Amino acid sequence: MDKVIGTYSCRWMTARWPLVIFHNIIDVSSYNSFVIWNKINPTWMPDKRIKRWVFLEQLGKALVIEEESASASQQPLQRHLATNERRYPRGGASPYIELSSAHNDILREAKCWLTYAFMMPSENFTILNGFIQHFGQREFDKLSLQTKWNVSIEEFFKDGCPGVIIQGSSRGVRASVLELEAIFCKLQEDFAKKEESDMGLKSSNNFSRKPVENNSSDDFSGLEIVRVEKVENSTLKHLFELKKRPLQSASSQRMYQRLPAQYCDLVSRVGFKREFAPPDEQNHGEGIYFSSSVHGTEKLWMGLADEYLYFVAAQVLTGKSTIGTPGLIVPPETPGGDPLTLYDSVEGGVDTCVIFNGHQALPEYLIICTNKNFNP
């Protein structure tokens, strides 16, 4: 199967684990659809050696073509977005996509992305992604999509969270979203590889996440823990131990960060970065935010309210700390007049800590929860 789907594949390099699964699902389901189509229509292009390529091209166009109305664009695909069931169309040969996964949260992330990408009826769409700050000339040149698809693309930076707003025809917006997501995926993977290179690593296989039982005594009331995975990354642990020396601190605190699903793998690979999970309001500096309690994260990341919530439990070196203020990109100077002597972190109330160096925090556990109060 790998050899067959490798000939024509939609995969590209990405650091977003739901997309890796999603791309494989697309490849396998597309090939299965082609096999079924040939069985139902044996006289279709019998002498063509590239008929699979033609089928995939037509399938791709069918998935993004603009429907006559918003309701018409949602219902047909919604019926065919299977989860763990197998639904083969009878009396017809309409291609469809089947999603399956061992974990409901992974399945839902892939399904939501697919739904938003292919079935959004809106003529405007917002992408929030911290990696727009890493756009270079090459990426800005690719924003000429607005000419290609007759859409307008506006960048913005609000409350420390950058993103883009795409406006235009429904079909043009869909196509632009797919191309922009591809740009972001490549930027994230390039960023991760550079970080790994700076850490002296030659591959991306430096970490693992293993399911463990939940032994936390912290308050998860209102949430139901679905899965707990222990993060093991020897390189990050070594850098964390080295960071203790200049901070003259041998102790650390257990703290939490909430982040989007797409960054779970990146945190496991390269540690915490400010691009991954900026809070809704950066009132204490433009650094990496943590809360000493699970429910403290609700105040920092209210915009991430969803059915599935992703927490990273970490050991954080706070060292010498002071009260933070907006606009800080490094900790302030300590009293004494030496501009090179800085605090190690800043505080924001009783349960908020902000660090400005990702190696001051070591990810220990990824905790996936469902929100009992979530209303879709």
Give strand ranges (E) for 132-259.
Answer: 151-158, 161-168, 208-212, 223-232, 253-258
Could you read off the pLDDT of 117-130 as tens digits, one per residue? 666 556 788 888 88
The CA distance from 334 to 80, in Å, is 61
Residues of the chain with pLDDT > 90: what percent? 27
Angle of helix 104-119 relative to helix 70-80, nearest 10 degrees?
Answer: 150
Nearest to 255 by CA among 321, 196, 194: 321
Higher pLDDT, 213 or 303: 213
Find the range with the poorest average confidence among 148-152, 316-320, 358-362. 148-152
Q: Is the Cβ–Cβ distance between 88 and 36 less than 8 Å?
A: yes
Could you read off the pLDDT of 248-260 as tens digits, one per residue? 776 899 999 999 8
Q: Name the token pair of 282.
A: 């950066």
Global confidence as pTM: 0.69
Could you read off the pLDDT of 149-163 as tens digits, one per residue? 788 888 888 766 788
Q: Residue 289: which residues within 8 A CB-CB, separation 6 or more?
A: 257, 277, 278, 279, 282, 300, 348, 352, 353, 354
Q: Name the token pair of 204.
A: 């991306």
- Domains in the chain, CATH or no CATH each: 1-118 (no CATH), 122-198 (3.30.1370), 208-371 (3.90.228.10)
46: exposed, middle or buried (C-beta count within 10 Å: 0-12, 13-18, 19+)? exposed
Q: Name the token pair of 260.
A: 């989007």
Higher pLDDT, 52 or 10: 52
Nearest to 285 by CA among 360, 354, 359: 354
Find the range with the poorest average confidence among 20-29, 60-69, 172-181. 60-69
Could you read off the pLDDT of 277-296 as tens digits, one per residue? 889 888 999 999 999 999 89
The CA distance from 361 to 325, in Å, is 21
